[in-house]
Amino acid sequence: MTVIHQWIQQVSPCVIIVLMMTTTTSHSGGSTGESKPSARVPLCDRRTLKEQYGVTEEFGFASESPLLPLLDHNKLGSSAEWEAAHMFLAYITQAYVWQDGDEGIPEVLPEAVAVPYHAVSGHLGIPASMTYFDNALVNWKWKDEEQRHCGPENLETVLTLAGGREEQWFFLVSVMIEAECGPALCAIVDAQQAVFDGDDTKLEEALIVIEGAVLKMVKQFKRMGDGLTPETFHNLISPTISGSEAPAFRAKGLTGLIYEGVSDEPLVLRGSSGITNSILPSLDAALGINHRRSDVVHLGDFAECMPGKHAAFVSAVARGPSIRNYVESLPGSNVQVNYIKCLKAVQFFRDFHLQVVTRYAIIPSKKPIQSTRKYTGTGVKDLVFLKGMRDNTIRARFDKSTSPKSNRKSPQTTGHKPGNGVILATVGICAVAILLYHKFERVSLSQAE
């Protein structure tokens, strides 16, 4: 972190001048033992005035370089330093973009930040934008490292944008969810090895671990409401972590930011979203949950926000032995029963995610905005995407009666033309969003208890 600290010092240069006389001076006129004036030496040579005291003839005590100097990313060493650098640069960029609200969005990101930001991002394999990686994966620290208990009482964020405990809570809940997922990720490796070895017992054990971990993730997700209100998230937090997809950019005719020293054309500034986590893609790859082509396109965009190593893990799991194909050949077995429990747990997580998005994004967007920001954050587009992910999880179950479309009537049966069906589907999605909100507090989480 030494390099990062040096960077912060460069961001806010401060000249500290201390002038002390080494002799005693008396104004009483008598002999007090002080050196005679003629014995005193000059303060320093003018040629060394700047080096010794930070004084120049042109600027006096003021810094000659008030602007941030070009940060040298080549001095970064360990993985932790590269990751911390990306986090600091992401927060500097977001603060620079949104500091003056919607009306003050800049067109250019200064070279001093843009060049190292782009270089560090390339090294880590993620965009030069604030991502879930910056807010959740690296933006935390222990209060008591010896205790190493991953709970809110022992965690705190490194950085915030809007500030306040609620913003910290929003990010820390994601950290706690990630921690609960650890055993599931390791169990995925065990499960694929068991499939390769044809070991039903080991596979069943691994599936039990995966199910239990996912249900614990839901329990942590449920804690979001303990420390964050929908109003604070929607009006204060969401605008500061948004990117060039925000209406404020479109209102000014901007498609992104020009990264000075990197590109003369605007580059997309992505916003941070929990949807881009690596957990669910890993579970989808392991359990053989296939998604529709339209959803796959969005997933490809989200994969670009994953750190290179995390995306490589998802790809490796997808190429590994198929748990689903193996389980499908064992109808009625305990292995298949536990596999379906895993699918239900993932569905349960996605159900709850839909409720959270509805409560924290959809419903507040219908109310008068209490801040000066106009950005409405996550919206119906994300809700539709998440609903598609949930439905695809249901389709992965072997019981065909669980298909989300099994009880729907076709347009021909209802007497509507296909065009009207599309309209009704859109209205239905909005209705579902409202119903989910009203059911939010009543949803039973007994499976996660």
Taking the C-alpha atoms of residue 157 and residue 150, their distance in angstroms, rounded to an integer, is 13
Say whether 79 sits in a helix, a strand or coil. Answer: helix
Q: Does position 440 have pLDDT exceeding 70, yes or no?
A: no
Closest CA to 283 of 223, 209, 231, 356: 209
Taking the C-alpha atoms of residue 148 and residue 219, their distance in angstroms, rounded to an integer, is 20
DSSP H/E element including 200: helix 200-222
pLDDT given for residue 273 in this prediction: 81
pTM of the model: 0.72
pLDDT given for residue 230 in this prediction: 93
More confident position, 159 or 16 = 159
Output the average pLDDT for the chain: 77
Lowest mean pLDDT, pick from 38-42, 119-123, 201-205, 214-218: 38-42
Averaged pLDDT, 417-440: 40
Averaged pLDDT, 317-334: 94
Taking the C-alpha atoms of residue 400 and residue 397, their distance in angstroms, rounded to an integer, is 7
Give the model's confidence band at 182: pLDDT under 50 very low, under 70 low, under 90 confident, else very high.
very high
Q: Does position 394 have pLDDT exceeding 50, yes or no?
A: yes
Close Cβ partners of 192 (under 8 Å, ≥ 6 residues apart):
286, 317, 320, 321, 323
Give the model's confidence band at 364: pLDDT under 50 very low, under 70 low, under 90 confident, else very high.
confident
pLDDT given for residue 67 in this prediction: 55
Structure tokens at 99: 């500091």
Say whether 258 sits in a helix, a strand or coil. Answer: strand
Say how many C-beta atoms besides its own lie within 10 A of residue 202's C-beta.
15
Structure tokens at 180: 């609960």
Q: Does position 23 have pLDDT exceeding 90, yes or no?
A: no
Closest CA to 237 of 207, 273, 285, 263: 273
Is-contact 54 13, C-beta < 8 A?
no
Give the model's confidence band at 294: pLDDT under 50 very low, under 70 low, under 90 confident, else very high.
low
pLDDT given for residue 7 in this prediction: 39
More confident position, 418 or 161 = 161
Portion of the chain with pLDDT greater than 70, in percent:
70
Is-contact 210 191, C-beta < 8 A?
yes
pLDDT tens figures, 250-289: 888 998 999 999 999 999 888 888 778 889 999 999 999 9
pLDDT tens figures, 64-104: 655 566 778 888 999 999 999 999 999 999 999 998 888 88
Lowest mean pLDDT, pick from 33-47, 157-171, 423-437: 423-437
